[in-house]
Amino acid sequence: MNTNLFHSLAGKDTCFKALSTDDAQEIHNYAGDEEVARFIGWNLMHTLAETREHIATMIKREEAGTHLYASIVLKSTQAVIGTAMMFNFNAKANHAEIGYVLHKEHWGKGYGTESVALMTDFALTVLKLHKVQAGVVDANIGSARILEKNGYELEGRLKDHYFIDNEYYDALLFGKILK
């Protein structure tokens, strides 16, 4: 997998860079926020040490070739504002799953939409994937809208799939055929 190219993707307002424990504080600012972490599938990071450990785990997964991760950087300030990821690669079916998380101060500004567009284009032009998919918690309306803006279609719903804060939520399954 071409991690260097994934780490160098750039859009109008954002760009990607390799994950680094040097950015632990910036990543902790959103990974340690209950509102952000609630629907992303990561455990809430209570301490900076936990965030550093999580970053190290992600870097190891990427080095093993099972995942691609990048910090999402706001071009205007060079601040790390989120994380983009590709995982669950299926060589036989030629598809993968994407995920993304943004600091809540950057929600609703188009950065998530741009990040998904960058990953989708990378999946098509570099990885030559047939399909990209994403799963979101049904209550995460903003995340679903990001996918819809990028041409992903709602393909299914898994009832009561997630159990978060003592409450059940459905999983919404989105997909996009690339070629």
**pLDDT of the residue at 9:** 98
Q: What's the CATH code, domain 3-177?
A: 3.40.630.30
Q: Which residues contact 170 (CB under 8 A, 6 or more apart)?
A: 137, 138, 157, 158, 159, 160, 161, 162
Decide: helix, strand or coil at residue 170: strand
**pLDDT of the residue at 126:** 96
**pLDDT of the residue at 43:** 86
**pLDDT of the residue at 169:** 96
Decide: helix, strand or coil at residue 75: coil
> Quick check: 42 and 22 in contact, CB under 8 A?
no
Tens of pLDDT, residue by residue, the chain (179 residues): 779 999 999 999 999 999 999 999 999 999 999 999 989 878 899 999 999 999 999 999 999 999 999 999 999 999 999 999 999 999 999 999 999 999 999 999 999 999 999 999 999 999 999 999 999 999 999 999 999 999 999 999 999 999 998 999 999 999 999 98
Q: Which residues contact 60 (CB under 8 A, 6 or more apart)?
A: none
How far apart (Å, rounded) are the C-alpha atoms in residues 158 and 172?
7
According to DSSP, residue 10 is labeled: B
**pLDDT of the residue at 41:** 79
pTM of the model: 0.96
